[in-house]
Chains A and B, each alone.
Chain A
Amino acid sequence: MEEIATNKNTGKPLETQEYFINMGPQHPSTHGVLRLLLTLEGEIIHNVEPHLGYIHRSIEKMCEKDSYTQIIHLTDRMDYLSSHMNNEAVSLAVEQGLEVEIPDRVKVIRTIISELTRLSSHQLWWGVFGMDLGAITSFLYGFRDREMIIDIFEETCGARLTMNYNVPGGLMFDIHPNFQKGTKAFVTHFKKKLPEYDQLLTENVIFELRTKGVGVLSKEDAISFGVTGPTGRASGFSNDIRKHNPYSAYTQVDFNEVLREEGDSYARYKVRIQEMWESMSIIEQLIDNIPEGDYKVKTKAVIKLPKGEYYQKVETARGEFGVYIISEGGKSPYRLKFRSPGFSNLSALNRMAKGAKIADLVVIMSTLDLVIPDIDR
């Protein structure tokens, strides 16, 4: 045993103090204005306390004064990397209340764009993950491939990130004539590039050292914290809404829910990489089979939902996104609640990061794939 150091003057044992560090609100690896209060002993983390509220914009409250068409564009600004899926969730919830039958064409297009959004989100995440690990080059490679998807979006619906392509009852416009061609070109391009991702990062020995066994989240913890999406699936928690509660055209396609058992950062990473392959296969199955038909069903100019409660969940790139609408029969909801995946996923951070090093925390945060506006709303 080592001797306890004493103060020379008083003879009392020297006091040790825990070391507090504020990570954020402005910090390169919190990807936004998240503030983490770290309790450290040297490099080892004893406690992580997330502090939220730096970009709270009270979107849920704003929804209470907006009409149902207007609400959709607000959801763009929550999880901006899965804006289409958020839009889709609100649209589906409203359509559920209106009891309209959605044309097949709309369903298929929505699904394709959802999967493209998921791909673009995962590409960005991959690039940023590499950057958090110190391999800055991956950032640019990820963005190169993402740019192709963003261009497809821009051509089809006019916006790159905050798309607002859904309206209750369908889509804002029909797809652009080049949509199918562009998507196919992208899939062929990305099928060549995705193995490069593996070669650059996944197989790298330093990368494996940094991620394997880091930030382990057990299946029980994943379930009790409500951790969904790729993060939950890496812990073996089967939670893919696309499989369990299929919506849009997910019933028509054949795909696997990617599951892994380890629950560490490497598993979370691999799940996302594997999901990119799955997304591409979904797109390939649908892209040539877009049925003819209307891109939208007629709805009243002012949509009023019948009195009642409506809930719709979708699988975004981060996990389960839910929209809960209480309507009093008016043209805007009485109360609207979003269940954002990032918030629940963040809650597991402390459990995962305890005992890890600062460098590990960065990895864990990155594999949680947090989008702060989604957490803060």
Chain B
Amino acid sequence: MNIYDFKNLTDSIHASLSVNLSPTAVTIIEFIIIASAFMILFTLLGLVLVYAERKIAAFFQLRLGPMRVGKWGIAQTAADAIKLILKEPLVTKNADKFLFNLAPFIIILSTFLALGAMPFAKGLHALDFDIGILYLTAVSSFGVIGILIAGWSSDNKYSLIGAMRSGAQVVSYELSVGLSLLTVVILAGSLQFSEIIASQETGWWIFRGHIPAMIAFIIFMIAGTAETGRGPFDLPEAESELTAGYHTEYSGLKFAFFFLAEFVNMFIIAGIGATVFLGGWMPFHIGNWEGFNKIMDFIPSLFWFFGKVAFLIFLMMWFKWTFPRLRIDQLLRLEWKYLLPINLVNILVMAFIVLMGWHF
């Protein structure tokens, strides 16, 4: 088994706190530690992903991307963040002020809740519900409420159209995301992330589940990209049509929230994909090649997880920087006429395979 286990670390922290504090105080302090850890992670993710996106987009487009702030423009996003914080938060004259200010927080909240259920590494897992997948799909989809509120309250027609598009889009694609995850749930026999990961110890589900798992993975990537409103599915903020969609009227820090949420959502989708299909923090093992498997075990689980996530994120960026955008009716047709029926058939096939015990 894996030699790096964060359980030791967390246990020792817990033990050292428990020495001279009451259990309630220990729980509160641990909450604070975890909360600040997630805050830091959130900011870091934002900074790193924005930088990565800009660089990768640049290289796809024969450019160099940011090069001026720091070596290779490393500090560019930090500089941008400072700029956004210092900017004046504008509110349109006839905006519904309360809702206008509330919207970014709803979006941020939903991403935070989803981030909390991510299994980052062995033993590094804040919320391990027994209904993990259900919980994740539930909380990650209520960001759309924030988007709708933002579009409605900012008193801008472009924003409203963007918000409506987003509503239709997220509600439809939520189905496909859920169903494609269900395919693996059938295989793994559990909704709990830790168990899904544990069930992949001998091999990742994408390889062990035959073609249905592959199909489920492809559908998940498409629907996941659509749910984050990225890539070819960025209709809610299609800048050539709606200037900036639902966040047209936002500026400064509130705009930064929308912006960050988009990137962290991308991380979450990639994280779920990595966990469910690619074995989470499980290292890559091949059958009974003992030596090879040992070497793989030496790579810490944290690296495995983030490596897989990075790969999936790169894939999503590749989509975004290659494809043209779909139109709203085509987007919905793709979901209801292609992804959903395929998905349903796929689940049946998968159930049959599991029933017959044909999977590895």
A and B touch in the complex (CB under 8 A): yes
**Interface size band for A:** 20 to 34
A209 touches B61 (CB 8 A): no
Q: Judging by beta carbons under 8 Å apart, are B61 and A140 in contact?
A: yes
Docked-complex contact B157 and A133, CB < 8 angstroms: no
Tell whether, in the assembled complex, residue A209 and residue B327 are in contact, meaning their CB atoms are under 8 Å apart.
Answer: yes
Binds A, one of B29-37, B40-48, B78-86, B236-244: B236-244
A55 contacts the other chain (CB 8 A): no
Residues of B within 8 A of A362 (CB): 240-241
Most B-side CB within 10 Å, residue of A42, A133, A139, A141: A133
| Interface SS majority for chain A | helix
Fill in one digit per residue for A330-365: 1 if any B CB lies within 8 Å of its CB, else 0. Answer: 000000000000000000000000000111101000
**Is there contact, CB below 8 Å, between A136 and B321?**
yes
Interface flag for A172 (CB, 8 Å): no
Q: Give every chain A residue within 8 A of B151 (Cβ-Cβ).
A: none
Beyond A28-B240, A43-B161, A144-B62, is A137–B326 a contact (Cβ under 8 Å)? no
CB of B330 within 8 Å of the partner chain:
yes
* Cα separation A201 to B323 with both chains bound (whole Å): 8
- Which residue of chain A is the closest to B58 with respect to CB atoms? A140
Q: Are A21 and B158 in contact (CB under 8 A)?
A: yes
Count A/B pairs, Cβ under 8 Å: 78
Residues of B within 8 A of A173 (CB): none
Check A357 against B232 for contact (C-beta < 8 Å): no
Interchain CB contact under 8 A, A206 and B241? no
Docked-complex contact A137 and B322, CB < 8 angstroms:
yes
Asked if A201 contacts B328 (CB within 8 A), the reply is: no
Q: Judge whether A135 and B327 touch: CB under 8 Å.
A: no
| A28, A206, A359: the one within 8 Å of B323 (CB) | A206
> Contacting A29 at CB < 8 Å: which of B62, B241, B323?
B241
Smallest CB separation, B55 vs chain A (Å):
14
Contact of A207 among B63, B243, B324 (CB under 8 A): B324
Q: Closest CB of chain A to B237's CB: distance in Å?
A: 10
Query: What residue of chain B has the Cβ atom nearest to residue A357's Cβ?
Result: B327
Residues of B within 8 A of A140 (CB): 61-63
Contact status A135-B326, CB under 8 Å: no
Residues of B near A42 (CB, < 8 A) are: 164
Kindly state whether residue A130 has any CB partner on chain B within 8 Å. yes
Task: Check B60–A137 contact: CB distance below 8 A.
Answer: yes
Cβ-defined contact, A135 with B63, below 8 A: no
Question: 5 nearest interchain CB pairs?
Answer: A134-B325, A133-B324, A140-B61, A135-B324, A29-B240
20 A-B contact pairs sorted by A residue (CB < 8 Å): A19-B157, A28-B239, A43-B161, A43-B328, A133-B324, A134-B238, A134-B323, A135-B322, A135-B323, A137-B322, A144-B62, A200-B322, A204-B324, A206-B323, A206-B326, A209-B330, A210-B324, A210-B325, A210-B330, A358-B241
